[in-house]
Amino acid sequence: AQSVTQLGSHVSVSEGALVLLRCNYSSSVPPYLFWYVQYPNQGLQLLLKYTSAATLVKGINGFEAEFKKSETSFHLTKPSAHMSDAAEYFCAVSYSGGYQKVTFGIGTKLQVIP
């Protein structure tokens, strides 16, 4: 069985500060990992994905994530937070199988303080 744990349902950072959103996964087979962002009253949008190529993945809006197999982690980072980054972020895991079963974490709401 696969699962995703996002540590911290709410994270606050000051504008210009480092953003770090944590994600740990559990999977019995090599996973595919995703980060999605959800702005108010919208659907989820893909930020970035890991599919067993480079372990450091760069996404949109200056975000990146590093796959660390030894720590079963896929934390999302951005060097300098902007006000426009305020949103909810979801980590998700899937694996190659008969169909695409995607498991989502519970989400982390990011607040950016001016």
Partner 1 sequence: NAGVTQTPKFRVLKTGQSMTLLCAQDMNHEYMYWYRQDPGMGLRLIHYSVGEGTTAKGEVPDGYNVSRLKKQNFLLGLESAAPSQTSVYFCASSPSGAISPLHFGNGTRLTVT
Which CB, 41 or 114, lies closer to partner 1? Answer: 41
Residue 56 has phi, psi (to 5 degrees) of: -100, 120
Q: Which of 34, 63, 74, 89 binds partner 1 (CB under 8 A)?
A: 34
**Can residue 106 be called a binding residue for partner 1 (CB under 8 A)?**
yes
How many CA atoms lie within 13 Å of 80's alpha carbon, on the beta-carbon side? Answer: 1
Site string for partner 1, 48-77 (x = CB under 8 A): -x-x--------------------------
Q: Structure tokens of 101?
A: 């079963």
- The CA distance from 45 to 43, in Å, is 7
The Cα 103–Cα 25 span in angstroms is 10
Residues in touch with partner 1 (CB under 8 A): 9, 32, 34, 36, 41-46, 49, 51, 90, 94-97, 99-102, 104-107
